[in-house]
Amino acid sequence: MATRGAIAAKPKEDEPPPPLDGEFKTDRAARDAAAEDFGHIVHNRPEGVLIPGSDNDIAAIINWAKDRGRKFAPQGQSHSVFGRSEVENGVVADISALNTIGAIDGDRVVVDAGAKWSDVLRATLAQGKTPPVLTDYIELSVGGTIVAGGVGSTTSTHGVVADTVISMDVVTGTGEKLTCSSSSNADLFNAMRAGLGQVGVITRATIKLIDAPESARRFQLTYPDLATMLKDQRLLSGDNRFDVVQGAIVAPPSGGFAFRIDAVKYFTGSPPDDAALVAGLSDIPDARRVSTLAYFDYLNRLAALEALLRGNGQWFFPHPWLTSFVGDSQVESVVNTELDNLNPPEDLGQFGQVILSPIKKSAIKSPLMRLPSDGLCYAFNFVRVPTTDDIANANRLVDANKAAYGRIKGAGGTLYPVHAFPLSGAEWRSHFGSAFGQLDAAKRKFDPNKILTPGYEIF
Ligand SMILES: Cc1cc2nc3c(=O)[nH]c(=O)nc-3n(C[C@H](O)[C@H](O)[C@H](O)COP(=O)(O)OP(=O)(O)OC[C@H]3O[C@@H](n4cnc5c(N)ncnc54)[C@H](O)[C@@H]3O)c2cc1C
């Protein structure tokens, strides 16, 4: 705020965009497209869309936006669900234009932040390598995933995607280009990983790689109830016999809920011993389904559902998702309460599900990931796939998400901030808890004018 008598700097409102390697679009179609995301609930139309040709373009446009008092947000694949990459009357950058995947160099690869994980995976598999952790859906951008954290099927072993980043090139909110890692600009590195894009824009990341297996032996297990499913999740999390243990609760049209574990053992060469893998499990034997898939096909397992939902139109309907973590000590009562509150046909949809996947917390290192105090916790997500594009129904579920989050938090749970409901500044502080000071200090240092990524409403 200007003080009395001071001459306030006049915003350079009419200043044209600087010369660019890429282009700056102001046509209505480009601006409308940038006001959409996978949530289809929040719509903020920017004044223009940068299609960057280089990281210099991002720095130049951040400075241009700042000089004109405008905000800026990068967009990866726009798969957030509550307008987090949108900016009303500000500037967005379509980072998917920066998508070069570098040569595989032993245990690492350098990729542009706009590359999709599916393309990164194809490139690394050609050299027998794989990122250690991938999200369940691999059409997300590298940058958009790192700033969320990136929970995947091997998180119990390798942490979140953000934990597999060796270094990053970042353009800060002051338009400065910096490289950061755990040993260089570590405050920036730690604020970028799971930091919701509050202090910088990732342009490039060096990702750790491990040897890729050829195949996945997959066991789809069904349980009569939640308690029996949890019993096996605890058993399997404890003995590491599988590489992947994920859970889901689905609502069959016949009514009630079905409880499922998806357990996978990776292998190259001889298949694993099935009998040893299922020894002592309490699933319903007749319902057990066992298959072998190529490693890529397993990781790409959501492609068929995406095609189906694109085909029936539901991909383009609102998606009021709730994503959280619940500690093992509270999980059974929390899940039972939330299932009691759920009316599956309207609240989940035929193709929706409640994810309940065990995660060993010790593997997660990114400081801004907020997790319950228990060593074993669960990703507890309402993946709602409504059968209607009625925005009133979506807003009802946004309110339901907020109420559920209150109950989950009250039971020691935490948010995975891919959620569809608003949080106030005070609620964000409470979410980050003891880590907020670290993010706040990085904000003041790297984005003091609060230009970047306003969609979360943290600062
Ligand atoms: C179908 C589906 C499946 C999903 N599965 C998983 C899953 O298995 N595990 C999981 O963890 N998450 C999952 N998610 C959530 C997803 O990881 C996040 O929504 C992620 O942020 C989306 O990446 P995106 O490229 O679409 O980013 P966008 O939606 O484009 O952006 C998300 C946020 O990141 C910021 N951002 C984007 N690029 C950059 C960058 N280069 N630098 C800095 N900030 C940036 C944006 O400004 C915005 O705030 C899923 C989402 C969907 C829709």
CATH number where 186 lies: 3.30.465.10
Alpha-helical runs (H) found in 86-208? 117-125, 142-148, 155-158, 186-192
| Distance from the alpha carbon of residue 388 to the mean position of ligand 1, in angstroms | 24
* Count of structural domains within the chain: 3
Q: Give the C-alpha separation, 132 to 296, whole Å.
A: 13
Q: Do 258 and 249 meet the contact criterion of CB atoms below 8 Å apart?
A: yes
| Distance from the alpha carbon of residue 235 to the mean position of ligand 1, in angstroms | 31
Q: Residue 423: inside a domain, yes or no?
A: no
Pairing verdict, β 91-94 and 414-415: unpaired
Tracing tokens 């010790």 back to the chain, one arrives at 362
Same domain, yes or no: 367 and 231:
yes
Q: Give the C-alpha separation, 446 to 199, whole Å.
A: 6
Q: Residue 298: inside a domain, yes or no?
A: yes
Same domain, yes or no: 399 and 352:
yes
* CATH number, domain containing residue 70: 3.30.43.10
Task: Give the pair of three-digit tokens for residue 50.
Answer: 């940068």
Same domain, yes or no: 226 and 162:
no
Q: Do 264 and 218 meet the contact criterion of CB atoms below 8 Å apart?
A: yes
| Distance from the alpha carbon of residue 259 to the mean position of ligand 1, in angstroms | 27
Of the candidates 113, 112, 132, the residue with the CA atom closest to the CA atom of residue 121: 132
Q: Give the C-alpha separation, 452 to 91, whole Å.
A: 10
Q: Residue 325: inside a domain, yes or no?
A: yes
Task: Give the pair of three-digit tokens for residue 171.
Answer: 């353009």
290, β-bridge pairs: 219
Residue-range definition of the domain harbouring residue 281:
215-415
Beta carbons within 8 Å of 140's beta carbon, 6+ residues apart: 76, 77, 79, 116, 117
Of the candidates 442, 311, 305, the residue with the CA atom closest to the CA atom of residue 383: 305
DSSP 224-282: SSHHHHHHHHHHHHHH--SSEEEEEEE--TTSS-EEEEEEEEEESSSPP-HHHHHTT--
pLDDT of residue 365: 97
pLDDT of residue 13: 72
Q: Residue 445: inside a domain, yes or no?
A: no
Same domain, yes or no: 409 and 338:
yes
Q: Residue 270: inside a domain, yes or no?
A: yes
72, β-bridge pairs: 91, 452
C-beta 137 within 6 A of ligand 1? yes
C-beta 368 within 6 A of ligand 1? no
C-beta 34 within 6 A of ligand 1? no
**In angstroms, how far is CA 444 from the centroid of its own chain?**
25
Q: Closest ligand 1 atom to the C-alpha of 38?
A: 53
Note down pLDDT in tens along the chain; length 459 residues.
333 434 445 557 778 999 999 999 999 999 999 999 999 999 999 999 999 999 999 999 999 999 999 999 999 999 999 999 999 999 999 999 999 999 999 999 999 999 999 999 999 999 999 999 999 999 999 999 999 999 999 999 999 999 999 999 999 999 999 999 999 999 999 999 999 999 999 999 999 999 999 999 999 999 999 999 999 999 999 999 999 999 999 999 899 999 999 999 999 999 999 999 999 999 999 999 999 999 999 999 999 999 999 999 999 999 999 999 999 999 999 999 999 999 998 999 999 999 999 999 999 999 999 999 999 999 999 999 999 999 999 999 999 999 999 999 999 999 999 999 999 999 999 999 999 999 999 999 999 999 999 999 999
Same domain, yes or no: 284 and 229:
yes
pLDDT of residue 3: 36
Coil/strand/helix, residue 173 = coil
Q: Do 196 and 147 meet the contact criterion of CB atoms below 8 Å apart?
A: yes
Q: Residue 442: inside a domain, yes or no?
A: no
pLDDT of residue 8: 44
Q: Do 369 and 148 meet the contact criterion of CB atoms below 8 Å apart?
A: no
Q: Residue 53: inside a domain, yes or no?
A: yes
Same domain, yes or no: 154 and 275:
no
Same domain, yes or no: 223 and 323:
yes
Same domain, yes or no: 302 and 265:
yes
Task: Provide the 8-state DSSP code for 287.
Answer: G
Same domain, yes or no: 225 and 337:
yes
Alpha-helical runs (H) found in 264-374? 274-278, 295-299, 303-312, 331-340, 344-347
Per 3-state DSSP, what percentage of the chain is helix, strand, and coil (rounded to 5)?
35, 25, 40
C-beta 38 within 6 A of ligand 1? yes
Q: Give the C-alpha separation, 296 to 48, whole Å.
A: 37
**Residue where a domain terminates, one of 212, 242, 258:** 212
| Distance from the alpha carbon of residue 380 to the mean position of ligand 1, in angstroms | 18
Tracing tokens 């068929």 back to the chain, one arrives at 304
C-beta 381 within 6 A of ligand 1? no
Q: Do 185 and 141 meet the contact criterion of CB atoms below 8 Å apart?
A: no
**Residue where a domain terminates, one of 212, 232, 252:** 212
| Distance from the alpha carbon of residue 142 to the mean position of ligand 1, in angstroms | 8
Coil/strand/helix, residue 176 = coil
* CATH number, domain containing residue 377: 3.40.462.10
C-beta 455 within 6 A of ligand 1? yes
Q: Give the C-alpha separation, 177 to 58, whole Å.
A: 10
Same domain, yes or no: 64 and 190:
no
**Residue where a domain terminates, one of 96, 127, 149:** 96
Pairing verdict, β 91-94 and 72-75: parallel
Q: Residue 454: inside a domain, yes or no?
A: no
Same domain, yes or no: 172 and 236:
no
Of the candidates 426, 234, 207, the residue with the CA atom closest to the CA atom of residue 328: 234
Predicted model pTM: 0.96
The residue whose CA has the least distance to atom 2 of ligand 1 is: 137
Of the candidates 43, 85, 44, 45, the residue with the CA atom closest to the CA atom of residue 418: 85
pLDDT of residue 172: 98
Same domain, yes or no: 80 and 110:
no
Residue 307 phi/psi, 5-degree rounding, is -60, -40
